[in-house]
């Protein structure tokens, strides 16, 4: 049994949660008291409540069987069950319009290091459930039980680590079991402004010296996506400085010179994480994308950047032709990797330029469709790149001139 600290956090609870959430927690607490289930808020929700920051999701752990408890809630008319995962003992319910995840306490084992854990025991003690988790600050539980409502249950010293702004793993094999936790640690460190605790940092270094590449890369991708899907480049800098990139490549990665944050602020990519991943991916074989299970579109973004990286552009026309169908993420990968001048020139001056004249217009003018149409469009485009004010009527004039003087 691990020594446990208990303090009551009703004031924090009362201040942090909205009236709607508090009403839900109090209602489920009453039902649990009658049915003799023990409920705890757990994980990110408790961490964020203590930090006073907005939480991404609310998870409730039932010490015992969450599915059985959700059925009671539904029977009594308090909740609607949305979906059930029997193998994990988890259930999503809707209460007063809010979607809430209930999970049965469970212990896990990692029969294959680096891959998804197997559930060992559903309905174990809260303490065992806590001990399967990644970091102390994610292992705090807040009682929703009538006899100790809002008591903080801290088996692993997470409260002190929150105060000290430390990310600490729960046991020395944590990164070996699940190397994606190295990226998760980076995510929390940058999001919360925390540091890795000394032993955690030492074990991370040790793992990165001899990475076991037989790991679930889909999870690596998902963590990279969550970690880098914001404009700040802090996480990427640490990703390089601490050698965390070794989880995805055997090659050495250097910090780019370009100011990524400025580029993101100016051009606002939808998926910053793909730019960051692309900065590594363009120097890899094509199986880099397949290994990480990128979608066709995600893979296309990186491969297009790879194809354009060494290309030189004779003039604006060539630049436009090469860039006009590319996604912003592809262009930003190129910008960061040395083509900033060309990319900015294209984005600032040409990206809005489109031809209005169409093949139908030319047919209406009496021309028969031919390969010359494409050359005609290029002729008009060259003119438009020099004068973006050209309107459709002038475009028609120009293309007519071109086609009749062939
Ligand atoms: N967890 C873990 N190891 C992982 C992923 C998750 O131990 N590789 C545990 C952590 O205890 C975490 C919980 O599962 O708190 C839920 O995971 P997730 O939803 O990814 O994290 P949150 O803590 O909810 O964080 P976030 O604020 O990013 O949603």
pLDDT digits (tens, 9 = 90+) for 204-222: 999 999 999 999 999 999 9
In angstroms, the Cα distances linking 391 to 303, 318, 363, 379, 384 are: 35, 22, 19, 15, 9
Q: What is the β-pairing status of strands 59-63 and 38-42?
A: antiparallel
Index of the ligand 1 atom closest to the CA of residue 180? 8
Ligand 1 centroid distance, CA of 44 (Å): 7
Nearest-CA residue for atom 8 of ligand 1: 181
Index of the ligand 1 atom closest to the CA of residue 187? 28
| For the chain, percent of residues with pLDDT exceeding 70 | 99
Cα separation, 233 vs 248, in Å, equals: 18
SS3 category, 230: coil
Q: Identify the CA nearest to 395 among candidates 382, 404, 405, 71.
A: 382
Q: Which DSSP letter does residue 283 get?
A: T
Q: What is the β-pairing status of strands 59-63 and 151-154?
A: unpaired
Structure tokens at 334: 């190129």
Q: What is the pLDDT of residue 356?
A: 95
SS3 category, 34: helix
Q: Is the pLDDT of residue 98 over 80?
A: yes
The tens digit of pLDDT for each residue in 292-334 reads 999 999 999 999 999 999 999 999 999 999 999 999 999 999 9
Structure tokens at 91: 């259930």
User: Contact at 8 Å (CB) between 131 and 146?
Assistant: no
Q: What is the pLDDT of residue 5?
A: 63
The tens digit of pLDDT for each residue in 265-275 reads 999 999 999 99
Cα separation, 337 vs 76, in Å, equals: 60
- The finding on whether 171 has its CB within 6 A of some atom of ligand 1 is no
- The finding on whether 231 has its CB within 6 A of some atom of ligand 1 is no
Question: What residues have CB less than 8 Å from 124, skipping those under 6 apart?
Answer: 105, 106, 107
Index of the ligand 1 atom closest to the CA of residue 47? 23
Ligand 1 centroid distance, CA of 115 (Å): 16
Q: Is the pLDDT of residue 94 over 60?
A: yes
Index of the ligand 1 atom closest to the CA of residue 219? 8
Q: What is the pLDDT of residue 53?
A: 96
Q: DSSP labels for 174-202?
A: HHHH-THHHHHHHHHHHHHT-EE-HHHHH
Question: What residues have CB less than 8 Å from 258, skipping those under 6 apart?
Answer: 335, 336, 337, 340
Average pLDDT of the segment spanning 285-296: 95
pLDDT band at 175 (very low <50, low <70, confident <90, very high): very high
Q: Identify the CA nearest to 185 among candidates 137, 232, 218.
A: 137
Nearest-CA residue for atom 16 of ligand 1: 43
Report the alpha-carbon angle 224-228-232, nearest 5: 160
Q: What is the pLDDT of residue 373?
A: 94
Average pLDDT of the segment spanning 221-232: 92
Q: Output the CA torsion 8→11→16→21 (10° steps).
A: 80
Q: What is the pLDDT of residue 405?
A: 86
The alpha-helical segments, DSSP class H, found in 36-113 are 44-51, 66-75
- The finding on whether 57 has its CB within 6 A of some atom of ligand 1 is yes
Q: What is the pLDDT of residue 167?
A: 98
Q: What is the β-pairing status of strands 98-104 and 5-8?
A: unpaired
In angstroms, the Cα distances linking 163 to 11, 40, 189 are: 17, 21, 14
Predicted TM-score of the model (pTM): 0.93
User: Contact at 8 Å (CB) between 105 and 62?
Assistant: yes
User: Contact at 8 Å (CB) between 61 and 153?
Assistant: no
Q: What is the β-pairing status of strands 59-63 and 98-104?
A: parallel
Average pLDDT of the segment spanning 230-248: 94
Ligand 1 centroid distance, CA of 42 (Å): 10
Q: Output phi, psi for 58, to 5 deg.
A: -110, 120
User: Contact at 8 Å (CB) between 334 and 343?
Assistant: yes
Question: In the Cβ-directed half-sphere of 151, how many Cα atoms lie within 13 Å?
Answer: 14
Q: Is the pLDDT of residue 244 over 60?
A: yes
Q: If you search the block for the tokens 């209460």, which residue do you land on?
A: 95
């Amino acid at each position: 049994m691990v020594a446990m600290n208990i303090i009551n956090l009703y004031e924090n609870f009362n201040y942090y949660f909205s009236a709607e959430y508090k009403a839900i927690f109090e209602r489920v607490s009453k039902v649990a008291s009658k049915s003799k289930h023990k409920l705890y808020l757990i994980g990110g929700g408790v961490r964020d409540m203590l930090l006073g920051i907005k939480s991404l999701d609310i998870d409730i752990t039932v010490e015992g069987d969450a599915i059985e408890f959700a059925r009671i809630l539904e029977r009594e008319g308090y909740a609607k069950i949305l979906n059930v995962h029997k193998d994990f003992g988890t259930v999503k319910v809707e209460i007063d319009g809010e979607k809430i995840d209930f999970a049965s306490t469970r212990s896990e084992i990692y029969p294959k290091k680096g891959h998804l854990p197997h559930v060992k025991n559903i309905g174990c003690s809260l303490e065992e459930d806590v001990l399967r988790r990644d970091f102390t600050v994610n292992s705090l539980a807040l009682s929703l039980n009538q006899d100790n409502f809002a008591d903080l249950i801290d088996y692993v010293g997470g409260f002190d680590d929150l105060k000290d702004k430390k990310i600490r793993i729960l046991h020395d094999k944590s990164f070996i079991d699940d190397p994606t936790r190295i990226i998760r640690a980076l995510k929390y460190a940058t999001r919360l402004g925390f540091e890795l605790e000394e032993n955690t940092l030492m074990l991370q270094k040790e793992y990165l010296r001899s990475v076991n590449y037989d790991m679930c890369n889909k999870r690596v991708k998902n963590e990279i996506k969550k970690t880098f899907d914001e404009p700040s480049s802090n996480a990427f800098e640490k990703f390089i400085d601490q050698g965390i990139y070794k989880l995805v490549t055997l090659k050495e990665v250097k910090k780019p010179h370009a100011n990524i944050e400025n580029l993101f602020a100016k051009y606002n990519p939808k998926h910053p994480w793909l730019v960051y991943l692309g900065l590594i991916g363009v120097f890899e074989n094509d199986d880099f994308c397949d290994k990480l299970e990128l979608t066709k579109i995600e893979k296309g973004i990186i491969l297009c950047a790879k194809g354009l990286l060494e290309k030189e552009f004779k003039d604006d026309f060539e630049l436009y032709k090469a860039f006009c169908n590319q996604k912003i993420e592809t262009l930003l990968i190129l910008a960061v990797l040395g083509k900033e001048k060309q990319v900015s020139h294209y984005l600032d001056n040409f990206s809005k330029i489109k031809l209005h004249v169409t093949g139908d217009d030319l047919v209406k003018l009496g021309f028969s469709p031919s390969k010359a149409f494409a050359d005609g469009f290029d002729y008009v485009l060259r003119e438009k790149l020099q004068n973006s004010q050209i309107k459709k009527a002038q475009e028609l004039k120009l293309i007519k001139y071109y086609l009749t003087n062939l």
